[in-house]
Amino acid sequence: MGVAQQLTLEEAYAKWGAELVGYASALAGPTDAADIVADTFAELLDRDVASWDRIGDHKAFLFRCILNRARMNGRSAGRRTAREHNATIVAQDRPPASGELRMSDPRVVDTVRSLSPLQRAVIYLTYWEDLDPERVAEVLGVSVGAVKKHLARARARLRKVLQ
């Protein structure tokens, strides 16, 4: 059995960058996904190279970093939204403007957005990456029980909306 080849940070970005943007899209939405990945890699570039070399599973580490960055962005967005809400008058319902996109069922979108970043990560890795709970737990650095709990809770919330 051979030793896994160590990748440089640049090689990891070239190899998994697009996949990480897709993952970040599932966690935080497509608008912020590329920024989350770029910010994550920028932060890692500022670190000591030796610490990157000590990481055993680079891909799993990057998935965890993206999750943490998405959580941080979510907290910032929540605070910003609360400030904006407190500073402005909420507009009344209005018909859509010409060319404005309407979601077919905004309840589903709102429900997915209301899931915690960890729940969205578990859903993404389970259904889009087709990983089993053991691998999801390994990638996210949590227990298998936590993966199953978050997956069950996310499914239950989505089931309520889809019924």
When pLDDT is cut at 50, 70 and 90, the band that residue 58 belongs to is very high
Q: Which fold has domain 7-89?
A: Rna Polymerase Sigma Factor; Chain: A (1.10.1740)
CATH of domain 105-163: 1.10.10.10
Tokens of 35: 């920024």
> Average pLDDT, whole number, for the chain?
82
When pLDDT is cut at 50, 70 and 90, the band that residue 23 belongs to is very high
| pLDDT over threshold 90, residue 113 | no
Tokens of 54: 């000590």
What does the alpha-carbon distance between residue 123 and residue 129 come to, in Å, rounded to a whole number? 9
| pLDDT over threshold 70, residue 101 | no
When pLDDT is cut at 50, 70 and 90, the band that residue 91 belongs to is very low
Dmax (CA) for the chain in angstroms is: 65
* Rounded alpha-carbon distances, angstroms, from residue 55 to 59, 66, 136, 139: 10, 16, 18, 13
- Interior angle at CA 83, CA 81 and CA 88, nearest 5: 95
pTM: 0.62
Domain boundaries, the chain: 7-89, 105-163
pLDDT of residue 88: 42
The amino acid at residue 108 is: V
Q: φ, ψ for residue 6 (rounded to 5)?
A: -80, 130
What does the alpha-carbon distance between residue 94 and residue 26 come to, in Å, rounded to a whole number? 29
pLDDT tens sequence across 139-159: 999 999 999 999 999 999 988
